[in-house]
Amino acid sequence: MCVVKCAVERMLRAMRNGNLTGMGKVANRCASWSVLAPMTTNSDVLEKLRQEWRFTSHGDESRRSYVALVSKHPEVALIGLTDMGDVVHTLEAKGGRSVLERAAIISALLQEAEDVHVHRALLQTMIPGIVSVCRQLRFGEGIVDDPSETLGTALGLASELMIDWSGQTRQYAAPDLLSALRGRLRRWLLKEKAARHALGQHEFGEESAREASLLLTRLESLQGGPFERLSRITYARVFEGKTLRDVARDDCSSPATLQRELQRFAVRFLI
């Protein structure tokens, strides 16, 4: 299962079950898994969210969440709607609300984001902004293998932010959320970059260790034979870090002559 499919499906399942606990961390947990199938595309991720929203946004629970929202925030003038699906529709550019009216509604949604359906409505209306943040950060180009991984993580981080900030009163909640998301997503990308660099170094170290082990085995196999002297000198150079001048002095030979001997020995027995 890929990172994005994991993040989105778990997020949607958590929402349908009415459980927000830990939901925002889903994308980060899934992104740490090492077994990845072919990634879904950004359009696949967004379409999955749209389909889920169409399925849940007009249900009974969505209507109850809408009624509770209106009763707590009569100032946002949402009377006359039916459910949270209608609330999201009215937040669209064609919804007929001014910029200030939309800002007031989003502020109310954030205050009530502990409600799973209000939270989901807020996430749905923020999707274009979340995509914009990913675009600003080039979807992690050069750091992650597929843009959908960045988008899936951004959705999870945005959900986590909404949970962290639920109950707060923010006049301009949408730009505040997107600004905070940009910071968190940038830090995630930097961590991913550092982790990949560390992994590369680790793999290089393991390869070097394997090569060193193979060399040591070959040198040990030459002990007690006619090339024991050169085997012992090579060991001193490679594993003890002695300089050519030092081993030449101990061997009572000139550095230039000993170097030629070691080169011929390496070509014949070690490479």
The pLDDT of 112-141, averaged and rounded, is: 94
Phi, psi for 52 (deg, rounded to 5): -65, -40
Q: Judge whether residue 85 has pLDDT over 90.
A: yes
Residue 115 contacts by C-beta under 8 Å, 6 or more apart in sequence?
65, 68, 69
Quote the distance between the C-alpha of residue 37 and its chain's center.
16
Q: pLDDT tens-digit profile of 200-227?
A: 554 555 556 666 677 778 888 888 888 8
Q: How far apart are the first and last CA of the chain?
A: 43
pTM for this entry: 0.60
- Predicted pLDDT at 33: 28
Q: pLDDT tens-digit profile of 26-65?
A: 333 333 322 223 334 566 888 888 899 998 999 999 999 9
Alpha carbons 67 and 83: distance in angstroms, whole number: 8
